[in-house]
Amino acid sequence: MKGRLTVTSPIEQVPKRLFIAGQWAEAASGATMPVEDPATGQVLCHVADAGPDDGRRAEEAAVAAQGEWARTAPRARSEILRRAYEIIIARTDELALLMTSEMGKSLAEARAEVAYAAEFFRWFSEEAVRIEGAYGTLPDGRNRMLLSRRPVGPCLLITPWNFPLAMGTRKIGPAIAAGCTMVLKPAPQTPLSSLALADILREAGLPDGVLNVVTTSRAGEVVEPLLRGGRIRKLSFTGSTQVGRTLLAQCADTVVRPSMELGGNAPFIVFDDADLDVAVDGAMVAKMRNMGEACTAANRFFVHSSVAGEFAARLADRMGSLVVGPGTEPGVDVGPLIDRAGRAKVAELVADAVERGAKVLVGGEIPDGPGCFYPPTVLTGVDPGSRLMSTEIFGPVAAVLTFDDEDEVVRAANDTEWGLVGYVFTRDLSRGLRVGERLEVGMVGLNTGLVSNPAAPFGGVKQSGLGREGGRVGIEEFLEYKYLAVPV
> Which residues are designated catalytic?
261, 295
Q: How far apart are CA 362 and CA 380, in angstroms?
A: 10
Give Cβ neighbours of residue 185 (< 8 Å, ≥ 6 apart): 156, 157, 158, 159, 213, 214, 215, 216, 219, 222, 223
Pairing of strands 479-487, 143-151: antiparallel
Q: How far apart are CA 460 and CA 26, in angstroms?
A: 38
φ, ψ for residue 210, nearest 5 deg:
-70, -45
Q: How far apart are CA 214 and CA 54, in angstroms?
A: 7
DSSP state of 22: T
480, β-bridge pairs: 150
DSSP state of 291: G
Q: For CA atoms 478, 103, 312, 389, give the dihedral sign.
A: negative
DSSP state of 134: E
Q: How far apart are CA 445 and CA 465, in angstroms?
A: 18
